[in-house]
Structure 1
Amino acid sequence: MKCKFLFLFFIIPLLGIAQFTDLNLKQIEKDISNPKSGYGYEKLIFKFKGYPKSLDSIEAQHLYYGRNFIKNKVSVGDDEFAKLADAFKAGDFQKCVVLGKVLYGKDPSNLDVILILLRAYDSLKDGINFVHHLNQLRLLTEAIKGSGDGKSEKTAFVVNSVGDEYILLNVLNIGQDFNRNSVTYKDSVIDVWSKEDVKIHIKVLYLN
């Protein structure tokens, strides 16, 4: 997995219980493309970049899952992201900030990019930018936690990518001692992470 290294430093606890809300992807797709809906994607991004704490749980849900329906997203398979990942692995955090800010400008709600910027600002002791991106990270992970309770396939947590799944696992303190079993569907994969009597169901979307 190309971005698995990101999760090794994700040690900041993200506390709080997200409210379990119905997830309607078709409605989200419709809402984010309509500026008059109140959940237009550009409007949400503007608030997210400026003051992430101003978004409520429904707005956060539209922001996170609405990313599935926008164009020109940054992918971990892109050359630009590969350069950012290499800079991170090399510990060149100044370069991480330079490269990361470019990708953040293109795709502000990309969790992989936010994580690298968060770690870079932490290493550079830039508290203002660190706290800002931490608030963004909390908002998006709370949106994921609000998609279900993970107790069954029907109420699985829903994530946009495998990378986001591992971020969620870290938030939930699910470690390498858990076993994974997967069931593949047309538009998603359901991963069941289990250890003794504990089972966590996570749905990874493949909408593209």
Structure 2
Amino acid sequence: MKYQFFLLLVLFSVFGFCQKSKIDLKAIEKSLKKPDSPYNYEKLIFKYKGYPKSLDSIEAQYLYYGRNFKGDRISTSDDSFKSLADAFKESNFDECIRQGKILYDKDPTNLDILLVLLRAYDSKKDGNNFMHHLSQFRALTEGIKNSGDGTSEKTAYLVNSVGDEYILLNILNVGKDYVRGSKAAKDGMFDIWEKDGHKIYIKILYLDLLN
């Protein structure tokens, strides 16, 4: 899906200065499933849905990267998402909200779905729902931004999908004047974006390759 509404990101281009945290995907998977863990999925998703501003950066990362271990993920190639995208292209924002809420209930940390809902609620001038989903979006994208510093393969930013990569690139103000190179990894793909000798490393996770 082409992101025709990146202007939304201008609203929250300033991120807090948080310590970068190394992402341990195995620990995330284990903790999300463990009932007595502070990072249990049900506990975190309750905070995320009810009061997203209460999430700290580590909790947001557990939710974002933990999505890889959920079986009910919505892909942009799914017919249900294509239908949502069609409603968006037609500026049918009532239908966007109707369909988007259904998909959100199934996959609440999906950034593509959140972006469509944000645009729809903004068009309907529904400030309460817009700000609620904006807080969720901020938490998840800040978690991505604090997954690394992008200066090397070892400290690459980690994203769940190519779509999420382009969201991150917009946040980082990486434009069309950057040249992309790619390199395969065991559990994903590195994209290296370069301009005037400056490189930004982003790793797209393909954890299904390990299963």
The separation in 1 between residues aligned to 2:5 and 2:162, in whole angstroms, is 12
The separation in 2 between residues aligned to 1:139 and 1:172, in whole angstroms, is 16
- Where 2:64 maps in the other structure, the secondary structure is helix
Tell me what 1:185 maps to. 185
Contact in 2 for aligned 1:150/1:156 (Cα 8 Å):
yes
Amino acid across the alignment from 1:66: G
Amino acid across the alignment from 1:79: D
- Where 1:4 maps in the other structure, the secondary structure is coil
Tell me what 1:4 maps to. 2
The separation in 1 between residues aligned to 2:131 and 2:64, in whole angstroms, is 19
State the shift of 1:199 in Å. 1.2
Tell me what 1:52 maps to. 52
CA RMSD of aligned residues (A): 1.2
What CA deviation, in whole Å up to 9, does each residue of 1:126-153 have, x standing for no partner? 1111111111110000100111000111
Q: How many residues align?
A: 206
Contact in 2 for aligned 1:93/1:120 (Cα 8 Å):
yes
1:163/1:18 Cα in 2 relative to 1: closer, same or farther (>3 Å)?
farther
The separation in 2 between residues aligned to 1:7 and 1:122, in whole angstroms, is 11
Amino acid across the alignment from 2:173: N
The separation in 1 between residues aligned to 2:124 and 2:77, in whole angstroms, is 27
1:1-208 equivalences in 2 (<5 Å): 3-6=1-4, 8-12=6-10, 13-16=12-15, 17-208=17-208
Amino acid across the alignment from 2:185: Y
Of the structure 1 ranges 6-15 and 48-57, higher mean CA displacement relative to structure 2 is found in 6-15
Structure 2 stretches of 5 or more lacking a match? none
1:5/1:58 Cα in 2 relative to 1: closer, same or farther (>3 Å)?
closer
The share of aligned pairs that are identical, in percent, is 59
1:10/1:166 Cα in 2 relative to 1: closer, same or farther (>3 Å)?
farther
State the shift of 1:182 in Å. 0.3
- Where 1:155 maps in the other structure, the secondary structure is coil
Structure 1 stretches of 5 or more lacking a match? none
Contact in 1 for aligned 2:100/2:113 (Cα 8 Å):
yes
The separation in 2 between residues aligned to 1:68 and 1:103, in whole angstroms, is 16
State the shift of 1:6 in Å. 4.8
- Normalised by the size of structure 2, how large is the TM-score? 0.94
Of the structure 1 ranges 81-90 and 5-14, higher mean CA displacement relative to structure 2 is found in 5-14
Contact in 2 for aligned 1:193/1:200 (Cα 8 Å):
yes
Contact in 2 for aligned 1:10/1:170 (Cα 8 Å):
no
The separation in 1 between residues aligned to 2:59 and 2:201, in whole angstroms, is 24
